[in-house]
Structure 1
Amino acid sequence: MPKLSEEDKALRKKIILRIIELRGNKTDKQVEFAHELGVDKQQINSWESLSNNRGISIYSINKICKGLDKTLKEFFDSPIFIDEN
């Protein structure tokens, strides 16, 4: 698997921050969120880990959105994704 570019790493960080933000609005516990999504807690931990060198797939983001009753547009329609450059 190729390494992520710096731009990709910045996007990955924004996605992680958005997942944590939205999950935190629903529950503080990864295990509860994992149960609601039908995935293992380790999967949530992987999605939210800054040390994970892999990006999260759009399919996983969509699964998260469905669990939060959000659309993909709502997920990405956040000040977190505004490019500050």
Structure 2
Amino acid sequence: MCLGIPGRVMEVLDGYNGQLALVDVAGVQRKVNIGLLEDGPVEPGTWVLIHMGFALERVDQNGADQAMSGLELMGRGPDSGEPLT
């Protein structure tokens, strides 16, 4: 698993050949490039780890929770006041 910010895909955006999605990151929706993900199309509800605006890995809810916990330990989580991306 890479060190990344967990986010949940809300929708794959039209007009970008399936390469761009709207992803919820700690309550904020961001456009994220999903073109590097393997294993078929990305569906809404899929959890991903994001690094530098690119979704690099699919994770499950547990993996997303672990990634967020790691960020919180480093002082970068939603309760720290610091931006996640």
TM-score band, normalised by shorter chain: under 0.3
Higher relative contact order (CA 8 A, sep 6+): 1
Taking structure 2 as the reference length, the TM-score comes to 0.28
Taking structure 1 as the reference length, the TM-score comes to 0.28
Q: Comparing both structures, which one devotes a greater share of its residues to strand?
A: 2
